[in-house]
Amino acid sequence: MESSSAIDRLSALAQPGRLAVFRLLVRAGPEGIPAGEIAAALGLAPNTLSSQLAILVQAGLLSSAREGRVIRYAARPDALSELIVYLMEDCCGGRPEICQPVQEAAARAACCPPSRIRARRPLSA
């Protein structure tokens, strides 16, 4: 990925409301959630949420699909993959022991299987 899109994605996520939206949609999975339900779940004004959703979509982190009157948003897992790869690129200059913990963390990421393995330390927003 290009550095410009990495900046776009990082700054899209670097705001409390948008980070909450993204994480909510990561948890929701591929079906996604309609904009109105996101606003209700997070207590955000509809117009504020709308601008934030636009920024996340523009950054490639979310997809959107209209269903009647409702617009349903979903997280795009590939966007996260690309970002992680970009941040770790050429890491640890041939010393596997340095970045192995990072890879293990990604593999554990509280997912797959459902909740047998927990993340090490929770990270606050």
Partner DNA sequence: CTTATGTTTCGACATTCGTTGAAATATGGA
Partner DNA sequence: TCCATATTTCAACGAATGTCGAAACATAAG
Q: Which residues bind its own copies (CB under 8 A)?
A: 1-7, 10-11, 13-16, 19-20, 22-23, 26-30, 75, 77-78, 80-96, 98-115, 119-125
To the nearest whole angstrom, how small is the minimum distance from the Cβ of residue 82 to DNA? 20
| Partner interacting with residue 50 (select from its own copies, DNA, none; CB below 5-8 Å by kind) | DNA
Query: Binding to DNA by residue 30, rule CB under 7 A?
Result: no
Sole binder of DNA in the list 3, 31, 68, 121 (CB under 7 A):
68
- The DSSP symbol for 33 reads E
| Partner interacting with residue 111 (select from DNA, its own copies, none; CB below 5-8 Å by kind) | its own copies
The crossing angle, in degrees rounded to 10, of helices 3-13 and 77-88 is 120
CA–CA dist 46, 85 (Å, integer): 34
Sole binder of DNA in the list 20, 28, 42, 71 (CB under 7 A):
71
Residues 55/8, Cβ–Cβ less than 8 Å: no
| Closest of 76, 12, 20 to residue 43, by C-alpha | 20
| Closest of 102, 111, 24, 110 to residue 62, by C-alpha | 24
Sole binder of DNA in the list 1, 6, 28, 34 (CB under 7 A):
34
Query: Binding to DNA by residue 45, rule CB under 7 A?
Result: yes
36 φψ region: left (φ > 0), alpha (ψ -120 to 50), beta (else)? alpha
